[in-house]
Each structure stands twice: as C-alpha cells, then as structure tokens.
C-alpha cells in the first residue's frame, strides 16, 4: 500500500459527498418548479435526482472474503457511477387558479420532499466531516513520520 493511498481513498469520498450535497441543493432549489422539461408536448415538473455511488474496484464481499482467508486487502475508494431520477410519482395539489393546472384543477408538483432532502444533506455533511477528520489524521501521521527522520 502506498503512503498516499489512504489520502486518495479519502479524497474520493470527499469528492463523492460534495457531489451528493450539490445534488441535494439542486433538489431543494427546484422544490416548486412545475416546468422543468418539455415531454410529449407537455411541461413536466422537476424530478428529484439521486447520486449512485459504488466502490472503485471490488465490492465489500471481496474484501470480507480476503480478510477471512487471512489476506490483508485495502479498498480503492468510492466513485459516483451516475445521477438518477427518482421514479416516485409527482405530488398532485388542487389549485385551479395555477397556470399549470390540468382541466380538473390539479397541479403536478415535483416529487421533492424537503424533509428527505434535509436528511440526505445531513448525512452527506456528516460523511464529509468524517472524511475530513480521516484526511487530517493521516496528514498528521505523515508529518510526524517526517519529523522522526530529522
């Protein structure tokens, strides 16, 4: 294992969590957007986006099997594979005065739930903070190792 591999692993997690926070921010900014894109001759509301992450190389089970067989193995970080749209249906709200109301008076609103977004944002923030702590601890250990050589 390279001396900088733990920094690279932590940096990949920081990058992924930062993107996750950006996506949550985008979702919150569009919580009331009823005209996000034009599909089949009609405006469609904004659809919530989600970040999909996975290990850079192998899955957890591979590392677990290696550890159980007595072979030490280190991961290679995390990567964002895609940003997907949440398939849950749009919210229907009765408001016949709204310009986007259908003939029955219902307006389709985005499937963004501010409570879920805040939970996702808190989770991403905590993960980001934990990785910053790991990064700083690793940096401190490397600095102490350099001081030993003086």
pLDDT in tens, the chain (150 residues): 577 888 889 999 999 999 999 999 999 999 999 998 888 888 999 999 999 998 877 666 776 777 777 666 666 788 999 999 999 999 999 999 999 999 999 999 999 999 999 999 999 999 999 999 999 999 999 899 888 877
pLDDT digits (tens, 9 = 90+) for 43-71: 999 999 999 998 877 666 776 777 777 66
Q: Which of 45, 43, 48 is nearest to 26 (CA)?
A: 48
């Amino acid at each position: 294992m390279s001396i900088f591999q733990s920094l690279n692993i932590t940096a990949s997690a920081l990058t992924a969590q930062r993107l996750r926070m950006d996506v949550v921010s985008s979702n919150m900014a569009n919580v009331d957007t009823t005209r996000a894109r034009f599909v089949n001759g009609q405006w469609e509301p904004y659809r919530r986006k989600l970040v999909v992450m996975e290990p850079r190389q192998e899955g957890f089970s591979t590392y677990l099997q290696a550890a159980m067989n007595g072979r030490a193995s280190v991961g290679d970080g995390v990567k964002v594979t895609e940003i997907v749209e949440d398939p849950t249906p749009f919210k229907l709200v009765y408001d016949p005065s709204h310009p986007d109301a259908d003939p029955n008076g219902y307006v389709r609103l985005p499937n963004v739930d501010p409570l879920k977004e805040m939970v996702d944002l808190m989770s991403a923030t905590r993960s980001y903070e934990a990785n910053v702590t790991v990064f700083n601890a690793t940096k401190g250990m490397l600095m102490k190792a350099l001081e030993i050589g003086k």
